[in-house]
Amino acid sequence: MRLASICMTLAMALAIPGSAMAGEEGQRPAAAKRQWLGKAEVEAKVSAAGYTVKRTRNGVGRYEIRAKGKDGKTITLFVSPWTGEIIGQDTKWGGR
């Protein structure tokens, strides 16, 4: 009984890191970078969402796009490199 309990605990401990890696898009392994959409494709999707793209750069697990919104304010958008979807934004650095 005790041996079975130890084996179960060990199996669960080993399974957790593997399932965590398969989680969110931002947590994908670096090897998946070759599957990223190109900058032009991502910029086209952001433009279609109503933003004017000023600059695009690679972030850690995402694209970071400086853009101007319909209201004329500058914003930094965080974009999924696999889907081109906007996954976050930051207005803190928009004034620069």
Residues 6+ apart with CB under 8 A from 85: 45, 79
Residue 56 lies in a domain: yes
Q: Whose structure tokens read 């890696």?
A: 21
Residue 77 falls inside a structural domain: yes
Pairing state of beta strands 74-79 and 86-90? antiparallel
Mean pLDDT per segment of 10 residues, for the chain of length 96 residues? 61 52 50 82 95 94 93 94 94 59
Q: Is the pTM of this model over 0.75?
A: no
pLDDT at 19: 42
Residue 31 lies inside a defined structural domain of this protein: yes
Rounded Cα gap, residues 96 and 92, in angstroms: 9
Asked, for residue 78, whether it belongs to a domain, the answer is yes
- The number of domains in the chain is 1
Q: Is residue 96 part of a domain?
A: no
CB under 8 Å to 92, separation ≥6 — which residues? 76
Give the range of the structural domain holding residue 59, as residue numbers without chain letter: 2-90
Residue 7 belongs to some domain of the structure:
yes
In a domain, 95, yes or no: no
Largest CA distance in the chain: 67
Residue 7, pLDDT score:
55
Give a yes or no: residue 20 inside a domain.
yes
